[in-house]
Structure 1
């Protein structure tokens, strides 16, 4: 079998895409580690803490969707259906494949982010969202959790996912907790 230039190009671009995702993941994990010193982070504004986590420019569009990544990793792996559900949310927001925001989420779904990153992102997100937006995040978390299970892939949320969604709802406050109780109560 001969290798065509097109085959080499495809391989090159796939490798380059993997390298970019790996770099993004490393940057995000490093940024979360840098925010662990609470005395220093208290001096930063909310927008500076979001930026310190690595969410600037185009990537800022997906910051509020990080709980979906948390839920997808709740059982230790991200199923194809969970991945598709999250990427569909991105497309629904007009975030297209190939953009830095889309690539960031893909990267976080390929390899589990550090626990420090997940914890720090929730702490900062708590201050960034509230009300209907927080309730919508919980609703989307339930959709992602239900993507892989149950009859016709609808409705089954594992105990681990349920506990994590409840933790996220508690972290985000009143409207998010009300949505949790409505969805999974």
Structure 2
């Protein structure tokens, strides 16, 4: 079988895409560690803390979706259906493959982010969202958790996912807790 220039180009672009995702992942983990270690974090504004986690520019569009990534990793791996569910949410928001925001989420789904990143992002997110937006995040978390379980792959949420969604809802407060109780309580 001969290799065509198109095959070489595809391989090059796939490798380049993997390298870009790895760089993003390293930046996000480093930022979370720095924010955790920063003794002045209490004096930083909310937007500065979000930026310190690596969410600036276009990547800011996906910051509130980080709990979905948390839930996808709850049982130790991300299923293809969980990944598809999350990427469908991105597309629904008009975030297209190849963009920095899309690539950021893809990289977080390919390799589990550090626990420090997960903890710091959720701590900052609780200050950034509230009300209906917080309830919507919990609803999306339930959808992701149910994407790969149960009869006909619909509706079963594992104990790990349920506990994490409850933790996220408790962190986000009132409407998020009500949404959790409505769906899983």
Q: What TM-score, normalized to structure 2?
A: 0.99
CA distance in 2 between partners of 1:106 and 1:133 (Å): 23
1:14-53 CA-partner distances (Å, limit 9, x unpaired): 0000000000000000000001135311111000000000
Unmatched runs of 5 consecutive residues or more in structure 1: none
Report runs of 4+ in structure 1 exceeding 2 Å deviation.
none
1:56-80 CA-partner distances (Å, limit 9, x unpaired): 0000000000000000000000000
CA distance in 1 between partners of 2:68 and 2:91 (Å): 14
Q: What TM-score, normalized to structure 1?
A: 0.99
Deviation of the 1:153 alpha carbon? 1.3
1:132-160 CA-partner distances (Å, limit 9, x unpaired): 00000000000000000111211100000
What's the C-alpha RMSD, in Å, of the aligned pairs? 0.6
The reply on whether 1:159 has 2:164 as its aligned counterpart is no
1:99-121 CA-partner distances (Å, limit 9, x unpaired): 00000000000000000000000
Residue-pair matches, total: 185
CA distance in 2 between partners of 1:146 and 1:45 (Å): 35
CA distance in 1 between partners of 2:40 and 2:106 (Å): 30
CA distance in 2 between partners of 1:54 and 1:164 (Å): 23
Aligned residue for 1:70, secondary structure, equals helix
Aligned residue for 2:134, secondary structure, equals helix
Unmatched runs of 5 consecutive residues or more in structure 2: none
CA distance in 2 between partners of 1:133 and 1:4 (Å): 49
Match of 2:100 in 1: 100
